[in-house]
């Protein structure tokens, strides 16, 4: 079932209301998601991207109910990840000679995943154009490392639509398709979560790309990403948001994240939260037990924060495994310009605080020395040390 975007441009993707996890189990999709594919029917008929492999039969069937597949003149593959290319092999079985336009890296990713099938690849670079008739062209813009080496966007002249693929997307199932019809709180939240968990590691690349896009002086009426809502009400709003987020974004917020075995570390965590509220009531503070909270949602809050305070008990001369895995994920996100601190309880050897401090430094945090190491149960002295830690991280 197609959805009309503008003039001769339609959405022909798949809305995945039931999706709970993405990237395997690595990314939670609390509001579902969509894989957006687009059909352009000018003098030339163009398909931009496909949908994820599990939906390939539905995709080809639905597309065939809309148009004769043999009418497709060009296929644009903006990105080889299987949530967008997963139906390509099924489609190419039906129309094997149709030219595919993509980056050189996308040829590698497509052939790597689907084999060398002799598809008619046409490699494009930034600035290359494809005439689609009626005075309109598709202009290709490489989006290398946003978020794969093969990523690309396409700008359609005349209708002024930027098909941005993963950039500016959200994992959000929105049947109404457009930003102005979506639930704005969910839309903004999912856009930020998507940025924090998927795009943030590439902030350096993004800053340069946003500058490059500005210099291109494209008139953009619509941004049509490959997931979630299409931005048509004020498409520049999400570009401005990306500019803010890519420039060491932080709010007056602190996250306290911990795991605990017998409540010692939890008691310190709660004391730290009380102290932040006491010493700086205007600072938003959020407390998460890492093992009981959604990893991606907590990271979104860390992304928004100016500081992160992490706690773990010492176990087997190390930190508890839930915190260890969480800190490894934190490191992947390459967040910048944030402060960090550590706390934890112990019974015998007490390595956890030093290990957390090291891991926070590895993740790029500016770590303060003040910490809380609590032997057995937290004492008044430990709680006083929590006060000192908070004073230092607020300073
Ligand atoms: Fe939505 Fe990188 O695929």
Q: How far is the CA of 105 from the centre of ligand 1 (A)?
A: 15
Nearest CA to ligand 1 atom 1: 166
pLDDT tens, residue by residue, 369-394: 999 999 999 999 999 999 999 999 99
pLDDT of residue 198: 97
- 4 classed as catalytic: no
Q: How far is the CA of 81 from the centre of ligand 1 (A)?
A: 5
pLDDT of residue 52: 98
- 81 classed as catalytic: yes
pLDDT tens, residue by residue, 105-144: 999 999 999 999 999 999 999 999 999 999 999 999 999 9
In the predicted model, is pLDDT for residue 251 greater than 90?
Answer: yes
Share of the chain above pLDDT 90, in %: 99
Q: Which of 49, 83, 142, 275 is catalytic?
A: 83
Ligand 1 pocket, residue 171 CB under 6 Å: no
Ligand 1 pocket, residue 49 CB under 6 Å: no
- 147 classed as catalytic: yes
Q: How far is the CA of 147 from the centre of ligand 1 (A)?
A: 8
Confidence band for 1, pLDDT divided at 50, 70 and 90:
confident
Ligand 1 pocket, residue 79 CB under 6 Å: yes
Nearest CA to ligand 1 atom 2: 81
- 55 classed as catalytic: no
Q: Are 175 and 158 in contact (CB under 8 A)?
A: no
Mean pLDDT of 219-246: 97
Nearest CA to ligand 1 atom 3: 81
Mean pLDDT of 214-225: 97
Q: Which of 55, 79, 84, 171 is catalytic?
A: 79
Mean pLDDT of 319-339: 97
- 23 classed as catalytic: yes
- 84 classed as catalytic: no
Q: How far is the CA of 78 from the centre of ligand 1 (A)?
A: 10
pLDDT of residue 21: 96
Mean pLDDT of 281-305: 98
């Amino acid at each position: 079932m197609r959805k009309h975007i503008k003039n001769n441009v339609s959405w022909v993707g798949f809305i995945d209301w039931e999706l709970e996890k993405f990237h395997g189990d690595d990314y939670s999709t609390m509001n579902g998601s969509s894989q957006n594919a687009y059909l352009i029917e000018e003098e030339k008929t163009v398909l931009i991207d496909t949908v994820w492999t599990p939906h390939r039969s539905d995709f080809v069937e639905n597309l065939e109910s809309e148009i004769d597949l043999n009418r497709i003149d060009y296929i644009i593959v903006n990105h080889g990840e299987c949530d967008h290319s997963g139906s390509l092999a099924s489609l190419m079985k039906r129309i094997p000679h149709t030219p595919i336009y993509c980056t050189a890296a996308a040829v590698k990713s497509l052939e790597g995943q689907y084999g060398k099938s002799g598809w008619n690849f046409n490699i494009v670079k930034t600035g290359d154009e494809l005439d689609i008739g009626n005075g309109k062209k598709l202009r290709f813009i490489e989006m290398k490392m946003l978020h794969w080496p093969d990523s690309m966007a396409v700008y359609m002249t005349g209708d002024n639509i930027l098909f941005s693929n993963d950039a500016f997307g959200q994992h959000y199932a929105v049947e109404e398709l457009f930003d102005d019809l979506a639930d704005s709180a969910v839309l903004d939240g999912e856009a930020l979560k998507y940025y924090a968990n998927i795009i943030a590691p590439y902030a350096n690349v993004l800053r340069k790309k946003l500058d490059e896009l500005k210099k291109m002086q494209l008139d953009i009426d619509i941004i049509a990403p490959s997931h979630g809502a299409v931005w048509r009400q004020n498409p520049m709003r999400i570009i401005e948001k990306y500019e803010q987020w890519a420039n060491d974004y932080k709010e007056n917020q602190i996250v306290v994240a911990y795991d605990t075995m017998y409540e010692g570390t939890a008691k310190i965590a709660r004391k730290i939260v009380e102290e932040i509220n006491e010493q700086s009531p205007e600072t938003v503070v959020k407390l998460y037990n890492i093992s009981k909270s959604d990893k991606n949602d907590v990271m979104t809050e860390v992304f928004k924060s100016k500081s992160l305070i992490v706690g773990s008990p010492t176990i087997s001369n190390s930190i508890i495994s839930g915190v260890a895995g969480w800190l490894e994920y934190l490191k992947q996100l390459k967040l910048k310009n944030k402060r960090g601190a550590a706390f934890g309880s112990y019974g015998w050897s007490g390595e956890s605080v030093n290990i957390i401090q090291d891991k926070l430094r590895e993740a790029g945090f500016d770590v303060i020395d003040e910490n809380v190491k609590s032997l057995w149960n937290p004492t008044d002295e430990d709680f006083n040390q929590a006060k000192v830690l908070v004073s230092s991280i607020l300073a």
